Chain A
Amino acid sequence: MKKTAKLLAFLMVAMGYPGVAQPVVEMADTMRSEGKIYVVVAIMLVIFLGLMAYLFLMDRKISRLEKRMAEKKR
């Protein structure tokens, strides 16, 4: 009897039986399940893409200046 109980306990641990499993680590599960995380993703993407578009425009402006500069040097 004792042996079977031990064996059962061992199996439960080995197979990751939820009742015996690791302590619960708190994560932002509620926020995720409510889908609010997508709001954060969208805001971060808008800011990031906006900044990158700004950079691209600056890049273009500098390229144009370089062209004018090259003409002046000639």
Chain B
Amino acid sequence: MKKGWWKIVAVVLLVYTIIGGLLFSVPRLSIVNETVRALYFHVPMWFGMVTLFLISAVFAIRYLRDPKTEYDIYSVEFANVGLAFGVLGIFTGMIWANYTWGSPWHGDPKQTGAAIALLVYLAYFVLRGSLNNEEQRARLSAVYSIFAFAAMIPLIFIIPRLQDSMHPGSGGNPGFNMYDLDNRMRAVFYPACTGWILVGGWLATLRIRMRLMANDLNEIEDEKNR
């Protein structure tokens, strides 16, 4: 548990997020009104997803350079948790959109881009599921996951900014001013992102540890059968 100090940091940061996110003062903006607080919970899902996908892509590259089974397991499990975060991001976004834009799905560039990015990553798991040979599966999916990450960046960060969008931060001018994210909000928003990224990492490591054990078990059984 000594090595697990960062898990406690994650919990503390998110407890702070819940308290601060609901109680601290926020800018009074029309249309969003009080729901501006959703920013503390909706946006960190995407920060978490992008970070987890990045880690997944790094392990995919490492696998291609040095084909160890562990790297493949790391890569797939980080992508798995990242996808879960993305799905939560989409659904929380739909709830928020329903309130501020009038309906949950607008075909807004940001929403569409995020949905396509999630589909690209879903296809990653379809690809993995369709290959039986372990080595082949690891190698192909590593290549694909690098592509998926490269496709996600423009889909979420670039294309929405080139077009008109109702989503804050789109339509030309990026940066954090878009949320009218003043310093009061930053004081909650950044800890929230850090906390969720850590929780995502935690979930991923749990899944990785289970997969590694299953791997060891398979090896032991293989030896017995020999």
Contacts and interface: CB of A to CB of B under 8 A. Distances in A.
Contact of A44 (B22, B213, B217): B22
A69 B23 contact: no
Given A23-B30, A37-B23, A66-B209, A44 B11 contact: no
A37 B25 CA distance: 13
Contacts, number: 53
Interface residues of B, number: 23
A55 B213 contact: no
B45 to A, nearest CB: 15
A58 B18 contact: no
A25 interface: yes
A49 B15 contact: yes
A14 interface: no
B7 A73 contact: no
Given A44-B18, A65-B213, A73-B216, A55 B202 contact: yes
A26 B33 CA distance: 6
Contact of A45 (B7, B15, B34, B206): B15
Given A48-B15, A58-B206, A59-B7, A25 B213 contact: no
A59 B213 CA distance: 14
Given A55-B202, A59-B7, A45 B220 contact: no
A28 B28 CA distance: 10
B18 A56 contact: no
Interface of A: 23, 25-28, 37, 40-41, 44-45, 48-49, 52, 55-56, 58-59, 62, 65-66, 69, 72-73
22 contacts: A23-B30, A25-B28, A25-B29, A26-B33, A27-B33, A27-B34, A28-B33, A44-B22, A45-B15, A45-B18, A45-B19, A49-B11, A55-B7, A55-B202, A58-B206, A59-B7, A62-B206, A62-B213, A66-B213, A69-B217, A73-B216, A73-B220
